[in-house]
C-alpha cells in the first residue's frame, strides 16, 4: 500500500511516517510538508492507495485541500489527521468527502484499525465525536445539511433491511458522490436516486447524508474490517 502523508511539522511528519510504515511490511509512505509538494507529487504519479492530510498546513487551508483532492482524484481515499477532534471539524471533513478523521493523539493500534477500515471501504471517525449531542446543529444550519443533535444507529449493517439497489446507493453515498453522479453510475434517474437515499436515511434512523456516514462508521467499528468488506461485496 502506498500512502501520501502531508504534514508541515517535521517531527510529527517523521513520527507518523515511521508509525504508518511500521503497521505492515507492505506499506510505503511518501511524507511531504506542504500542499504544493503534494499537488506536484499527485500530478507526477497519482498511484497512491491513500492520502493522509493534516488540516493545519502552512501554505493552505486543509479543508480546501481536502475538497480539491476529492474533486481531482475521486477514487483516492483521503483521511484527515488533526490535533483537533471537535465534532464540527469531523462533520465538516466528512461533508467534504474525507474517508476518515484521525486525531493525532490516537494509539498505534487504533491507527492501524482505522486505516484497515478505510481501505476496506469504511469510514473512520473518532467515537467521542459521535457519541454526544455536540455541535452538529450549529455546523449544519443551512439545508440540505441539517443535523439533529443525536441519533441512535442500527446495531448492524446486516440489519438495515435495504434492497440491493438501496445498498448500491448507500455504498456510493459513502464515497461522497452526489445524487447526479450516483444516478449516472447506476443508470437511473436523479429522482429515483433521491427516493433511494430517503429510504436509506430512514433505515438508518437519520435525516442527512453526514449522519448516515457517521452511523455506518459506528456500525463498522463494532465489527471487523473484513466483515464490513464482506457486507459491501455481498450486498452490492
- For the domain that residue 38 is a member of, what is the CATH number? 3.40.50.2300
- Can you give the pLDDT at residue 235? 47
Residues 86 and 190 in one domain: no
- Can you give the pLDDT at residue 34? 96
Residues 159 and 221 in one domain: yes
Cβ atoms of 92 and 139 within 8 Å: the answer is yes
Cβ atoms of 108 and 19 within 8 Å: the answer is yes
- Low pLDDT (below 50) residues in the chain: 129-155, 226-228, 231, 235-236
Q: For residue 16, give Cα distances in angstroms to 82, 90, 181.
A: 12, 20, 35
Residue 131: is it exposed, middle or buried by C-beta count within 10 angstroms (0-12/13-18/19+)?
A: exposed
- The answer to the question of residue 136 being in a domain is no
28 pairs with which residues across the strands?
2
C-alpha cell at 118: 478505510
Structural domain harbouring 16: 2-131
Residues 53 and 93 in one domain: yes
Residues 228 and 164 in one domain: yes
Number of folded domains that form the chain: 2
- Can you give the pLDDT at residue 157? 63
CA dist 57 and 173 (Å) reads 28
- Supply φ then ψ for residue 230, to 5 degrees: -65, -40
Of 69, 100, 131, the one marking the end of a domain is: 131
- Can you give the pLDDT at residue 151? 39
Of 131, 151, 169, the one marking the end of a domain is: 131
Cβ atoms of 54 and 45 within 8 Å: the answer is no
Amino acid at each position: 500500500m502506498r500512502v501520501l502523508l502531508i504534514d508541515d511539522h517535521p517531527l510529527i511528519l517523521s513520527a507518523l511516517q515511521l508509525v504508518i510504515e511500521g503497521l505492515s511490511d507492505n506499506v510505503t509512505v511518501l511524507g511531504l510538508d506542504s500542499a504544493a509538494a503534494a499537488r506536484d507529487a499527485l500530478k507526477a504519479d497519482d498511484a497512491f492507495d491513500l492520502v493522509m492530510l493534516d488540516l493545519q498546513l502552512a501554505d493552505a487551508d486543509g479543508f480546501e485541500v481536502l475538497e480539491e483532492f476529492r474533486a481531482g482524484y475521486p477514487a483516492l481515499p483521503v483521511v484527515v489527521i488533526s490535533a483537533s477532534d471537535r465534532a464540527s471539524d469531523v462533520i465538516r471533513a466528512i461533508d467534504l468527502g474525507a474517508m476518515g478523521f484521525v486525531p493525532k493523539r490516537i494509539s498505534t493500534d487504533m491507527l492501524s484499525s482505522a486505516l484497515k477500515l478505510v481501505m476496506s471501504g469504511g469510514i473512520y471517525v473518532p467515537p467521542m465525536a459521535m457519541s454526544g449531542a455536540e455541535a452538529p446543529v450549529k455546523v449544519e444550519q443551512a439545508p440540505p445539511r441539517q443535523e439533529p443533535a443525536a441519533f441512535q444507529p442500527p446495531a448492524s449493517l446486516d440489519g438495515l433491511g435495504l434492497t440491493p439497489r438501496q445498498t448500491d446507493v448507500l455504498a456510493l453515498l459513502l464515497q461522497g458522490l452526489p445524487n447526479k453522479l450516483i444516478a449516472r453510475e447506476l443508470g437511473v434517474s436523479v429522482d429515483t436516486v433521491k427516493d433511494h437515499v430517503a429510504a436509506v436515511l430512514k433505515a438508518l434512523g437519520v435525516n442527512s447524508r453526514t449522519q448516515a456516514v457517521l452511523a455506518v462508521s459506528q456500525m463498522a467499528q463494532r465489527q471487523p474490517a473484513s466483515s464490513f468488506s464482506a457486507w459491501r461485496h455481498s450486498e452490492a
